[in-house]
Amino acid sequence: MSPPSVLLISYHFYPSNEIGARRPTALARFLVEQGLRVTVVSAFGDQNVAPGSEVLSGITAVQIRRPARTFIGTLVSLKRRLQRARSGRSVRGPSDQEPASAPVPATSLLSRMREYYFRLAYFIDDYKRWGLRARRAAIQAGRRHPPSLVLSSSPPLSVLWVGTLVARRLGVPHIIDLRDPWSDVVADLHPAWVLELILQRWLERWMMHTAAAITSTTVKVIDLLTGRQPALSSKTFVIRNGYDGAVHSTGRDTGGRLSIFFAGNLYLNRDPFPLLDALERLLSRPDVDASRVTLTLMGRRTDQAEKSLTEWLRGKRCAQVVTLAPPQSAEVVAEMTAQSTVLLNLAQRQPMSVPAKTFEHLASGRENLLLCEDDSETALLVDPIPGVTHVDPRNAAALDHVLLDLYDRHVNQGQLRAPAERDVSAFSRDAANRAFWSVLEAVVSTGTRGVVKERPC
């Protein structure tokens, strides 16, 4: 007799190096360990994956590459390049997996028509063509090996649409893993686009209603959904992202230095300038030895942020302690992490999301410094954890106090405070996978496409 089967649809999956691939990949491995057959429909980072092969032990791959760029996509890409050339600023594309920033308000009828056209073309997102191909392939795979359920994990959001259609065609339950907010992003960033919001809300409501269970990485996303649809309360679950492996223990001795390290791309809301301003003020103090302080910003677009870092640093005290580095290999990042005393996390203006980097930092064995608003989901998550200091970047006095405290403990006292395993074990990847397992068991036990009747323990 064949083992129970799960059909997992996720655009990002191993061997993709996107951070969004880690959650579904770890879950698939865990399900195999529990004795399930797992078939994954994914782009697999556009790596060469043989059809029907095992991308990992026990995990069958159904690869759907993203279709070639359309004429519209080419025009959009060309426009962005021209904008970069003219302004010297970064303009993110769809492949970057972050919400697009609000466009410059249209001032003419032609501009408005063009804007509405593109909003229609990119309704949900611009992965719909990939989604249509993935839908056909997933249905075929499901007929060859009938699954007990379909699980779809976003981003991109089109994956959830695909999972809904596939599960209905195969007549099995569907679990939606809604890692990021959906229609609330439109409501927050583009309040003037009323028609799009109405359509997004209708589609979101239909898909959530038909799902057997809904998981999300944040409490706020679940609260927003159930606030609009109270009937969803019985089938919604918060399953956080998590750190992989064990909690590192690299020692608490700082060697009398304050070494702050950030690895990641600077774009949109990742704004280092409040910290740089505070660091400049710290270095102006007569009791601070600048030779014992370093800040390293490693990643793409460090010179194309909201304003040029290179220009800002010119003539500043910070210039002697700040290093701007290009992206490096995972091995180099790991080495830099071990050499640092503080890991910096920039999570500004993301009230409903928790960056995956947050969980990596918890297990790093280093002290954590988090810049985010006081009422954000990330702040609510980390505030009870010793070894993590969150500060609202809008509060300059609080930033000054935090940096001075870090300097005193790391430089003068020579000790750092890292999160302990007992305080962060609930945020391990294993804990997340076991929470998923409880949801899967509850869904399968109903034996129908209906909702989960009781919340699993």
CA 442 to chain centre: 27
CA 416 to chain centre: 27
Dihedral of the CA atoms 363, 365, 369, 371 (nearest 10)? Answer: -20
- Expressed in angstroms, the distance from the first to the final Cα of the chain is 29
Query: Strands 37-42 and 5-9: what pairing?
Result: parallel
* pLDDT band at 51; cut points 50, 70, 90: confident
* pLDDT band at 143; cut points 50, 70, 90: very high
All structural domains of the chain, each given as residue ranges with its CATH number in brackets, are 5-66+127-242+428-446 (3.40.50.2000), 71-121 (no CATH), 258-425 (3.40.50.2000)
In sequence order, what are the beta bridge partners of 194?
none
- Per the listing, tokens 């109405």 go with 198
The amino acid at residue 143 is: R
**pLDDT tens-digit series, residues 365-413:** 999 999 999 999 999 999 999 999 999 999 999 999 999 999 999 999 9
Q: In what order do the strands lie in the sheet with 367-371?
A: 322-325, 293-298, 258-263, 342-346, 367-371, 388-391
pLDDT at 57: 92
- Per the listing, tokens 């993110």 go with 92
CA separation for the pair 42, 23 (Å, rounded): 13
Helix (H) or strand (E) holding 37: strand 37-42
Predicted TM-score (pTM) above 0.85: no
**pLDDT tens-digit series, residues 430-456:** 999 999 999 999 998 875 454 433 333
CA 435 to chain centre: 19
Q: Which of these ranges, 129-138, 141-150, 178-187, 381-390, has the smallest mean pLDDT?
A: 178-187
